[in-house]
Each structure stands twice: as structure tokens, then as C-alpha cells.
């Protein structure tokens, strides 16, 4: 006897209910290969459903190979449809996971590069997304160009000219899924195994990994409080490109002065390589006037990368590349092979958001908030640590660096601080290529922390370091 149940209160068609139950029984071995299924009329009568329901469920199972019919004998479970079920651990670890989540909620996390998530302009963005969805032509819902929507590339080129002194035509832009995809595209475009790439040291671990995965040889150049030390550029190297974060060095926070920018361009011209400028958070400059982009000084040599992860939200996964004309076509092809294109509706929503000046308004608002948060981190650090802490890299963005005397922030120390004192900090050393120089420095991201959280976090850090 085949035990099946039918529930007419469910929103699942009867055929589906019969099909699913038999399929599950076959997959888990309750119905073994060669076993005979009841005749359709008999099963229909047992379950109180029409014979058509059973006929259609059997037909579906037959089409998928779970059962077979033998003329004159009936319907049988097919060979090879049993799959040994692995033990499920999900439900058992649910409580544990919940507990871990709660513990995490308890932790004050100084992770850098996270904007104030509760201040995302949800209403405006939602309104624009709704308009875009309602008003765009049907054709936009199809496949699109790899370089991205012209509406976005046009407003973006205007916005960048106005705010960052970037020199570009919309055709030079490729919209990417965040800056991270731009790094990957460039690595594929410009790096072959054995090629050299000059990078700042320290520089984010993720970027080092992306370039290394192309088989490139990473040539680190040390960074001081003003960014890359140009007098240490290796004259015996022939790099494919030099990677810099000139507006706000990540992680140490320096801003590259004009003299070093010129030195860098002269070096790149001499060795004939590109410069890649990662301009990830320079909109939030807290002191002095905004710094012009490096790209504006030599648009044919500098590849510019931007992102909306810091000014809006990392969840949008929207960034862009500005390329010298010689690289445009190849980069568009690569983007096509990678993921065809970045989602069109999001691009159009962003285009409208920029065009109607909501982005600039949002940046102005957030700049005040981040400046207040930065000032507060500095105040708390000084209150708690006095002159035993040195602060730098705080002129721009969503993080600063704190250097402590006689403390080495090894992984083990940082983990213990997190477990015991519930404050998460990020050592600069993780991002260092030449190890041992930055062991007493930590990155403190404040973008997504309230004043209360900042005060509590620094207080916990003092207790931990005591
Ligand atoms: C140096 C640097 N550049 C760019 C980004 C932005 O990456 P994405 O746009 O992919 O979010 C980050 C992320 O934190 C970063 O640290």
C-alpha cells in the first residue's frame, strides 16, 4: 500500500502533491527500484481524487525517469533513482547560529569602508526605482550593452567633471559591479603570468589577491603619511601598471601631494605603463578643498576607478571604470564575457538619482555626519589614551588609523580583544606586504557607528589594552 496524503487547504495543486510525495519516496529509497506502483484508478480512489490527477503525476515522473511502464504489467520504480541522503546539520545548528548572531550584535565593529547603513536614502531611491520600473521601455528589460546604460555614463561623466576634475567622454566609461569587479577586469586585461605590478604597501589584502591570481609579480612600494614614496619607485622594473589610492591611501589615509603626483606620472611615462587610480571614498573630504583626481592630469595614462559603495551602499554593487581610448573595446568585451552587463534598472535608477542632484545632496548631508563621527573618534581616543596614541589618515573618508606605543596587534590579540571585550578592530599589518612595520597600528572605521557606539567601543578598547 502506498501511503500518500492529500491536503486540499494547501495552495499546491493536487497533481504536484502526488508527484512530490512519490518522487521523494523514490529518491530516499522508501520506494525501491523495481517496486510496482498502484494502478492509477486504485490510487485515485484511495486518495479521493480524480484519475486524471494520478495519470498526470505518473506522466511527470515517467518523463523525468523516476518510473517506467512495462506494457501489460504496470508501472514500476526505475533503476538508479535512489540518492543516499546525507545528514542534515542545518536544523541542528540553527540555535547555535542564532547565538553567534546575537553575540555578533553585541560587538562594536570598527570595520572600515561601511557607510551609515541606516541613512541610505531609502525613500528617494525607492521612489526613483519605482518610476524607472514603471516608465522604461520594454526593450530595457532585455540584454544590454556591456559598458552600461548611456543615461548613467552621461550623467556620471558630467558629475565627475564637476566634482572630481575627471576628464572623460561617456564612451570611456564601463559600469561595473563595484570597484572590485573593475580590479578584476583590469587584472585580466593588463596582467599575464610573470607581469609586474607596482602597488602601495600596505594596500588592501583583497586587491593583492586579485592581482596575484593573474600570476602577476607584486612589487610593493612603501607608503608614508602622504601616500606612496615616489623616491622608492623601482627604476629597474617594467610594470604593466602602478596601482594607487591617491586621494585617501588605503589603509594609512594619506593624500598624495601634487609633487608626488607629478613624479608618479613622470615615472609612468618613462617606463610606459598605466596608472590605476582607485578613488573609493574621496567625496568625504573633511578638511580643505576636495582634491582633484590624478586622472585629470594625464587622462591617457591614468585608469580611474570609482564606486557607489561608500557614498550610497555596498549592496548596490555599482562602480565604474574610466579608460584611456586604447583599452575601451577590450574592456567592454571582457565585461561581456564576465557577466554580460551590470543590472540595467539599478543603473537607470542611479542615473536619475544623480541627474536630479539627489546624490550631491546626500553626499553633503553625509559629509557632516561623517565629519562629526570622525571628530568624535579622535576625541574619544585622546580622552582614553592621551598622548600614547597617534592618529593619522583622518582627512578623508570613513576611517582613520590609530598607532599605539608598545603594542603589537597580532591576530591572536585582536581575536581575544573581540571575544573578551566585544570590540572588533582591524590591524594595518593584515594589509602589509612587507611585514613587521605596521604592527602597532589599527584601522578604525566609523562610518556605520553612532556616537554612543564609538564612545563605548573606544572605552572597551582601552580596557582591553590595559
Ligand atoms: C581600497 C578600496 N577600494 C575600493 C573599495 C570598494 O569596493 P566595492 O566598490 O567593490 O564595494 C574598497 C572596499 O572596501 C576598498 O577598500
Q: How far is the CA of 243 from the centre of ligand 1 (A)?
A: 13
Q: How far is the CA of 104 from the centre of ligand 1 (A)?
A: 23
Which ligand 1 atom is nearest residue 182's CA? 10
The reported pLDDT for the residue numbered 93 is 60
**214-261 pLDDT tens trace:** 999 999 999 999 999 999 999 999 999 999 999 999 999 999 999 999
The protein residue with its alpha carbon nearest to ligand 1, atom 13, reads 113
Query: Residue 18 — pLDDT band, cuts 50, 70, 90?
Result: very high
The protein residue with its alpha carbon nearest to ligand 1, atom 2, reads 280
Rounded CA-CA distance 108/455 in Å is 10
Which ligand 1 atom is nearest residue 318's CA? 9
The reported pLDDT for the residue numbered 413 is 87
Domain-wise residue ranges, the chain: 14-77, 103-117+364-465, 119-360
Tell me the three cell numbers of residue 259.
609633487
Contact, 188 vs 167, CB < 8 A?
no
CATH of domain 119-360: 3.40.640.10
pLDDT at 449 over 80: yes
pLDDT at 427 over 80: yes
The reported pLDDT for the residue numbered 103 is 54
Q: How far is the CA of 250 from the centre of ligand 1 (A)?
A: 9
**132-152 pLDDT tens trace:** 999 999 999 999 999 999 999
Q: How far is the CA of 179 from the centre of ligand 1 (A)?
A: 6
Contact, 423 vs 417, CB < 8 A?
yes
Q: What number is the average pLDDT over the span 186-196?
A: 97
Q: What number is the average pLDDT over the span 155-163?
A: 95
- With H, G, I as helix, E, B as strand and everything else as coil, classify residue 263: helix
Contact, 304 vs 293, CB < 8 A?
yes
Burial of 271 (0-12, 13-18, 19+ CB in 10 A): middle
**53-107 pLDDT tens trace:** 999 999 999 989 999 999 889 999 999 999 987 765 555 566 666 665 555 568 9
**271-287 pLDDT tens trace:** 999 999 999 999 999 98
- For 124-145, give the DSSP string: HHHHHHHHHHHHS-GGGGS---
pLDDT at 23 over 90: yes
The reported pLDDT for the residue numbered 291 is 81
Q: How far is the CA of 414 from the centre of ligand 1 (A)?
A: 23
The reported pLDDT for the residue numbered 459 is 97
The reported pLDDT for the residue numbered 99 is 61
Query: Residue 412 — pLDDT band, cuts 50, 70, 90?
Result: confident
The reported pLDDT for the residue numbered 288 is 75
How confident is the prediction for the chain on average, in pLDDT? Answer: 94
Pocket test for ligand 1, best of 184, 186, 211, 309 (most atoms within 8 A of CB): 309
The reported pLDDT for the residue numbered 3 is 86
Rounded CA-CA distance 413/407 in Å is 10
Sheet-wide strand order for 196-201: 173-176, 319-322, 302-307, 274-278, 241-244, 196-201, 217-224, 227-228
Q: How far is the CA of 75 from the centre of ligand 1 (A)?
A: 59
pLDDT at 311 over 90: yes
Q: Which range, 289-293, 375-379, 393-397, 405-409, is most confident?
A: 375-379
Is the domain 103-117+364-465 a CATH 3.40.50.720 member? Answer: no
Weakest mean pLDDT among 150-154, 339-343, 412-416? 412-416
What is the fold, at CATH topology level, of the domain defined by 14-77? Arc Repressor Mutant, subunit A (1.10.10)
- With H, G, I as helix, E, B as strand and everything else as coil, classify residue 424: strand
Q: Count other Cβ atoms within 10 Å, centred on residue 423.
A: 22
The reported pLDDT for the residue numbered 408 is 93
Pairing of strands 241-244, 196-201: parallel
Q: What number is the average pLDDT over the span 111-121?
A: 97
- With H, G, I as helix, E, B as strand and everything else as coil, classify residue 250: coil
Amino acid at each position: 500500500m502506498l501511503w500518500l496524503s492529500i491536503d486540499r487547504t494547501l495552495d499546491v495543486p493536487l497533481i504536484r502533491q502526488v508527484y512530490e510525495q512519490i518522487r521523494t519516496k523514490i529518491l530516499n529509497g522508501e520506494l525501491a527500484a523495481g517496486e510496482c506502483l498502484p494502478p492509477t484508478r486504485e490510487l485515485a480512489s484511495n486518495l479521493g481524487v480524480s484519475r486524471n490527477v494520478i495519470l498526470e503525476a505518473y506522466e511527470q515522473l515517467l518523463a523525468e525517469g523516476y518510473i517506467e511502464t512495462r506494457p501489460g504489467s504496470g508501472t514500476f520504480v526505475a533503476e538508479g533513482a535512489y540518492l543516499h541522503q546525507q545528514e542534515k546539520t542545518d536544523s541542528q545548528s540553527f540555535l547555535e547560529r542564532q547565538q553567534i548572531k546575537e553575540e555578533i550584535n553585541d560587538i562594536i565593529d570598527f570595520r572600515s569602508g561601511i557607510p551609515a547603513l541606516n541613512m541610505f536614502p531609502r525613500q528617494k531611491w525607492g521612489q526613483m526605482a519605482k518610476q524607472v520600473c514603471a516608465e522604461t521601455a520594454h526593450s530595457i528589460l532585455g540584454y544590454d550593452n556591456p559598458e552600461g546604460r548611456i543615461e548613467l555614463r552621461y550623467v556620471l561623466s558630467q558629475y565627475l567633471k564637476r566634482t572630481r576634475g575627471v576628464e572623460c567622454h561617456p564612451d570611456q566609461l564601463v559600469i561595473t559591479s563595484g570597484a572590485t569587479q573593475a580590479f578584476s577586469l583590469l587584472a585580466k586585461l593588463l596582467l599575464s603570468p610573470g607581469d609586474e605590478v607596482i602597488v602601495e604597501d600596505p594596500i588592501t589584502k583583497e586587491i593583492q589577491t586579485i592581482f596575484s591570481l593573474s600570476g602577476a609579480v607584486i612589487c610593493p612600494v612603501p607608503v608614508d603619511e602622504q601616500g606612496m614614496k615616489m623616491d622608492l619607485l623601482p627604476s629597474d622594473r617594467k610594470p604593466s601598471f602602478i596601482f594607487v589610492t591617491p586621494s585617501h591611501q588605503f589603509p594609512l589615509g594619506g593624500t598624495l601631494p601634487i609633487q608626488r603626483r607629478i613624479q608618479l606620472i613622470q615615472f609612468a611615462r618613462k617606463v610606459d605603463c598605466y596608472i590605476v587610480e582607485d578613488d573609493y571614498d574621496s567625496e568625504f573630504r573633511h578638511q580643505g578643498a576636495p582634491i582633484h583626481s590624478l586622472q585629470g592630469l594625464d587622462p591617457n595614462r591614468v585608469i580611474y576607478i570609482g564606486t557607489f559603495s561608500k557614498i550610497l551602499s555596498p549592496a548596490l554593487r555599482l562602480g565604474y571604470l574610466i579608460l584611456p581610448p586604447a583599452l575601451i573595446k577590450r574592456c567592454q568585451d571582457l565585461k561581456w564575457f564576465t557577466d554580460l552587463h551590470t543590472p540595467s534598472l539599478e543603473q537607470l535608477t542611479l542615473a536619475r538619482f544623480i541627474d536630479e542632484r539627489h546624490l550631491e545632496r546626500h553626499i553633503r548631508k553625509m559629509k557632516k555626519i561623517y565629519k562629526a563621527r570622525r571628530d568624535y573618534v579622535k576625541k574619544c581616543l585622546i580622552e582614553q589614551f592621551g598622548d600614547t596614541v597617534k592618529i593619522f589618515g583622518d582627512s578623508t573618508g570613513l576611517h582613520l588609523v590609530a598607532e599605539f606605543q608598545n603594542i603589537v596587534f597580532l591576530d591572536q590579540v585582536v581575536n581575544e580583544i573581540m571575544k573578551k571585550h566585544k570590540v572588533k578592530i582591524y590591524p594595518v599589518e593584515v594589509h602589509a606586504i612587507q611585514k613587521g612595520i605596521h604592527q602597532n597600528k589599527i584601522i578604525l572605521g566609523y562610518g556605520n557607528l553612532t556616537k554612543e557606539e564609538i564612545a563605548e567601543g573606544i572605552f572597551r578598547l582601552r580596557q582591553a589594552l590595559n
